[in-house]
Amino acid sequence: MQITLKNLVRTYENVHAVEGVSLSIPSNQIFGIIGLSGAGKSTLVRLVSLLEKPDSGEVWYDDKRVDNLPEKEIILRRRRIGMIFQNFNLFSSRTAGQNVAYPMEINRYSKDRIKSRIAELMELVGLSDRIDAPISTLSGGQKQRVAIARALACEPDILFCDEATSALDPKTTQSILKLIKDIQRKMNLTVVMITHQMEVVRDACDRVAVLSDGNVVEEGLVKDIFAHPKSKVTKEFLSHLTTNNRTVTEDGMVMWSNEIAHYVLRFMPDKVDSPIISEIVKSYNVDFNIIGAGTQVVDTERFGTMVCNITGDSASVALSIQDLQHRGIIVEEVNQ
């Protein structure tokens, strides 16, 4: 299912608005929409998922315009849209399995079909043993898994993920992203991920659109955006990127690879006038693969920071690290 947005406008008195968004979201891909809070993400997702009507502009699913459908048809169309949320939004009055049953109940599936489908879906999300569990007994990650099972119950062709991992810890985030990726491939879904986390875009999305003040400021393949960010907002997002649980504390970090880094070097301001790296490369025969660099404030102190991998035989690597430290550079090894 390809989604096309044509010059969508939705303004409110004091809520963040969408001011003329045109986007083409290709079929069978994971498409990220990233923006800071207030960029208009929530409004945009409400428009695209047909929860709200735009002031002007059009929403197309494949070659059918859907934003102007009568209410009855909109309701029917929504039944083929899956959506998951930051706060999971599960029904606390129902067990995990009954939550998955809800969309099938309103779609008038037969009891038997609902039952077998619950088993199928709960297995897909790895929670076969929690079908009868009350929602409050589930962890955040498990809740999101139930929400995913519920979203997929009626075989949707689109899955919207509205900040779906924002309430989860990094490890759970990874496992949920992996699940979404697996499901996307298995079910040929068009997935739209709305997020403010660049890691989510990096780890899960094929394409991304950057939203700022209600406008799309940049759109393209994730790898291109990471390599050549054009807008200021995008650069800022990249600078906030969490590298292996290490959040960059101030602007100015530029990452040019999403490879996993093993070392973070911190240069004191008075140590940056000699070609240290180059000297070390020559004397120990090691290679530096620089993944990102910039200036950062850590504990009120301003550092030049470099995120890199050092490769070579392990003895040389150890020696070169020793030498770096000797020269007054702080070397932090990143624990995987």
Measured from the CB atom, the residue of 80 and 271 that comes closer to another protein is 80
| Contact criterion met (CB below 8 Å) for 43 and 17 | yes
Q: Is 219 helix (H, G, I), strand (E, B) or coil?
A: strand
Interaction of residue 195 with another protein, rule CB under 8 A: no
What phi and psi, each to the nearest 5 degrees, are found at residue 52? -140, 155
Q: Does 78 sit near another protein (CB under 8 A)?
A: yes
Write out the binding residues for another protein, residues 42-61 only, by CB under 8 A.
49, 51
Looking at the Cβ atoms of 14 and 247, the one nearer to another protein is: 14
Q: Which of residues 219-278 bind another protein (CB under 8 A)?
A: none
CB of 50 to another protein, least distance (A): 8
6 Rama sector, left if φ>0, alpha if ψ -120 to 50, beta otherwise: beta
- Nearest CA to 39 out of 60, 21, 61 is that of 21
Q: Which is closer to another protein, CB of 107 or CB of 289?
A: 107
Q: Does 135 bind another protein (CB under 8 A)?
A: yes
DSSP secondary structure letters along 305-319: EEEEEEES-HHHHHH
Rounded (10°) angle between helices 140-152 and 96-106: 20
Q: How far is the CB of 140 from another protein (least distance, A)?
A: 14
* 81 binds another protein, rule: CB under 8 A: yes
- Min CB(83)–another protein separation in Å: 4
* x-or-dash string of contact with another protein, 159-188, rule CB under 8 A: -x----------------------------
What are the φ/ψ torsions at residue 7 (nearest 5 degrees)?
Answer: 45, 50
H-only helix segments in 87-155: 96-106, 111-124, 140-152
Residues engaged in binding another protein (CB under 8 A): 49, 51, 75-81, 83, 85, 87, 89-94, 102-103, 105-107, 134-136, 150, 154, 160
